[in-house]
Amino acid sequence: MSQAPVEPADKVSDLAPTREALRRFVRLALRFWREDAARTAWLLTAGVLGAAIAQLLTQIGINRWNRFFFDALDARNGHNIAIGVGLIAGLALISTIIAVCLVHFRMRLQVRWRQWLTGRLVKYWLTERRFYQLTIVGGDDANPEYRIADDMRIAIEPLVDFAIGLLTAFMSAVAFMGILWVVGGAIDVEIAGTALHIPGYIVWAAILYAAITSGAMVFIGRPLIKRVDDKNAGEAQFRYEMTRVRESAETIALIGGDDDERARLDTTFTDLVGKWIHVITQQARMTWVLNGNMVLAPVVPLLLGAPKYLAGNLTLGELMQIAAAFLAVQTALNWLVDNAIRLAEWHASAQRVGVLQLALANLDDNISTESQGQTIILGDSPDANLRIENLSIAHRNGKVLIADAEVVIEPGEKVLVKGESGSGKSTLIRAMAGLWPWGYGRILRPVGASIAFMPQKPYIPLGSLRHALGYPATDVVHDDAAIREALGKTGLTHLIERLDAEEQWSRILSGGEQQRLAFARILINRPDIIIMDEATSALDELSQARVMGFLNDELVESTVISVGHRPGLEDYHTREISLVRQLGQGPAEARQKRYPLARKLWGKLRGRGTQDAGRQDPGRDPRPPAAPPEQ
């Protein structure tokens, strides 16, 4: 498998798994400023920085206005009061303009950053079939779609807010501490008969007050990160189970599994409620600090400045300026207090994204370890043949399913793979598709050959039928006449008029219709190699004869490998590979049997049908009629 494009699968450090996951997330996220999107990232960052500085200057202006306006009130100076009203109106307008600019830069940075990071992670997730292998490996990285969608959003959007908040907090702390130092001045106090002169006493009081509140918040709120992480995992699990019920609604309804599913969902949601209760309890504890700080913070600077105001050393305007500056310093120094809950949410989500990233980065190593350093190699064939060389396929636990298979399949051959249940037929198909790496040996495919895989349940993507028929080569435009002909041949004439209708076709079409749609797809795309896994299991015998006849009629040049057990399939193949176990024990051996008369017999049957048709009805199609549409 190829090297991971997002994070090299280097050796995991000795850090705790949660710290390692968070470190990997941060490393990947910061590459936004160094790689292909760096220009956009730096322009938006510069915009955010400029708007934040302008906003701070406006706040300093408003703080200075407090002193001017309250001094005017104290002096009962109507002229200055009127000037103050005009000044605050201008400051309000400037502040609003800056705030609007900051919103634009901030949110655009959030969206572009998330877009870049999501694109990288989705691409890595879908590369080398990792999205499939991850479902087999399992582990703590469950529900990757939830981590990429919701957790990624929660991990990115607040991070921009935090960066702006920290920058603003630092600049505000420096600026307003300077104001407190100059305006508040020093104070002389006597403690136990000793006279003390304390310069900038309000600054030291602000720092001490912030240290007490922040320390209390850290102490009380530390367990919140784990609580939030558990809650997010519970939400993801509940959503997954509801999605599973929706996707299997018909089957559950038919077998009467409503009560069992309801009980399972109730159990899952009860567990989720318990996790929410833990979060609520923790947040309630933190509210003691939050609410107390909200009440006391505006009062403390007034109490600290009152002695100097009463002594006539401070004007009313200076006292109000000190109070506003003290609140600004508290907002800056208590940034952790005010954002503790959001920080916990961010930490939990970033950690979950990091766990997924770590799992993807180490997936290849895990597969190699489980396979004892050996994996099935997909390569290019030296000729036009499909070659299976010394192939052994195993379970993840090392138990071998198929041992030492050697097969050469020539172009145009139609090969039927048979075997008892559990012998590894479907796993062989997965290995040929590159989905199953466990085992060893080589599967060599012709260079440049187009390959179509037809599973038992065909995949029908979202969108129109026209899009589904061209899938996955959606960039190729097919002629309408060819599409209509393919639908007619597969008994789907009733769908021709709905080619461009966008519906959830996987739910509208029956199982048989979906399998016939898959055959219509290969008639349109005409792949070089067709690999089928019980691709006719939902069809009646007449429909199966109809569509399988295409393999020896219209797809003569296509190589076909078909897994199936229904009777009559031998008539459409030239060779059989049987996966046989010895006495029901050990791995299966691939035994081959040719059908030397299969093609000849098929030709004779077609010729006989043509002769009979000539005697009875010259206009009659010698092939079996199209199966009627399934309802």
pLDDT tens per residue, range 70-127: 888 888 888 888 998 999 999 999 999 999 999 999 999 988 988 888 888 888 777 7
Position 128 confidence tier, pLDDT thresholds 50, 70, 90: low
SS3 90: helix
Total domains, the chain: 2
pLDDT, residue 622, reads 36
| Tens-digit pLDDT profile for residues 421-433 | 777 788 888 888 7
Are 209 and 355 members of one domain?
A: yes
| Tens-digit pLDDT profile for residues 598-611 | 444 444 444 444 33
Distance CA 580, CA 48 (A): 68
Are 205 and 334 members of one domain?
A: yes
Are 520 and 387 members of one domain?
A: yes
| Residue 131 burial (CB count, 10 A) | 16
Is residue 623 in some structural domain? no
Is residue 413 in some structural domain? yes
Q: Is the pLDDT of residue 16 over 50?
A: no
Are 317 and 381 members of one domain?
A: no
**Which of 103-112, 145-154, 171-180, 311-320 comes out lowest in average pLDDT?**
145-154
Q: Which residues of 300-331 are buried (b: 16+ CB within 10 A; e: fewer)?
A: bbeebbeebeeeeebbebbbbbbbbbbbbbbb
Are 478 and 400 members of one domain?
A: yes
pTM: 0.57
Are 351 and 383 members of one domain?
A: no
Mean pLDDT of 401-428: 83
**Which of 8-12, 190-194, 384-388 comes out lowest in average pLDDT?**
8-12
pLDDT, residue 202, reads 85
Is residue 622 in some structural domain? no
Mean pLDDT of 190-197: 76
> Percent of the chain beyond pLDDT 70?
82
pLDDT, residue 487, reads 92
**Which of 126-140, 142-156, 318-332, 471-485 comes out lowest in average pLDDT?**
126-140
| Residue 48 burial (CB count, 10 A) | 21
φ/ψ (deg, to 5) at 297: -55, -40
| Tens-digit pLDDT profile for residues 233-257 | 888 788 888 888 887 786 788 777 8
pLDDT, residue 370, reads 52
| Residue 197 burial (CB count, 10 A) | 9
The label of the residue with tokens 């898959």 reads 518
pLDDT, residue 158, reads 81
CATH number at residue 575: 3.40.50.300
| Tens-digit pLDDT profile for residues 205-239 | 888 888 888 788 778 777 877 787 788 788 878 88
Is residue 9 in some structural domain? no
Position 7 confidence tier, pLDDT thresholds 50, 70, 90: very low
Name the residue with higher pLDDT: 339 or 391: 391
With the C-alpha atoms ordered 601, 604, 606, 612, is the resulting torsion angle positive or negative? negative
Are 359 and 425 members of one domain?
A: no
pLDDT, residue 2, reads 39
Distance CA 162, CA 242 (A): 34
Q: Is the pLDDT of residue 1 over 60?
A: no
Is residue 626 in some structural domain? no
Are 385 and 307 members of one domain?
A: no
Q: Is the pLDDT of residue 597 over 70?
A: no
pLDDT, residue 475, reads 67
Are 333 and 435 members of one domain?
A: no
Sorted by sequence, the CB contacts under 8 Å of residue 330 that are 6+ apart come out as 206, 209, 210, 293, 297
Position 520 confidence tier, pLDDT thresholds 50, 70, 90: very high
- Residue 568's domain comprises 377-616
CATH number at residue 62: 1.20.1560.10
Is residue 257 in some structural domain? yes
Q: Is the pLDDT of residue 398 over 60?
A: yes
Name the residue with higher pLDDT: 356 or 42: 42
Q: Which residues of 429-450 are buried (b: 16+ CB within 10 A; e: fewer)?
A: bbbbbbbbbbbbbebbbbeebe
Here the tokens at position 333 are 């120094």
pLDDT, residue 609, reads 40
Position 365 confidence tier, pLDDT thresholds 50, 70, 90: low
- Domain's final residue, options 315, 344, 369: 369
**Which of 95-104, 120-129, 456-465, 549-558 comes out lowest in average pLDDT?**
120-129
The per-residue pLDDT of the chain, averaged, comes to 79
- Domain's final residue, options 339, 369, 399: 369
Position 586 confidence tier, pLDDT thresholds 50, 70, 90: low
Distance CA 230, CA 316 (A): 52
φ/ψ (deg, to 5) at 218: -60, -45
Are 432 and 530 members of one domain?
A: yes
Mean pLDDT of 587-616: 49
Position 440 confidence tier, pLDDT thresholds 50, 70, 90: confident
Are 95 and 145 members of one domain?
A: yes
Are 318 and 414 members of one domain?
A: no
Position 480 confidence tier, pLDDT thresholds 50, 70, 90: confident
Q: Is the pLDDT of residue 615 over 60?
A: no
Name the residue with higher pLDDT: 391 or 628: 391
Is residue 630 in some structural domain? no
- Domain's final residue, options 317, 337, 369: 369
Is residue 580 in some structural domain? yes
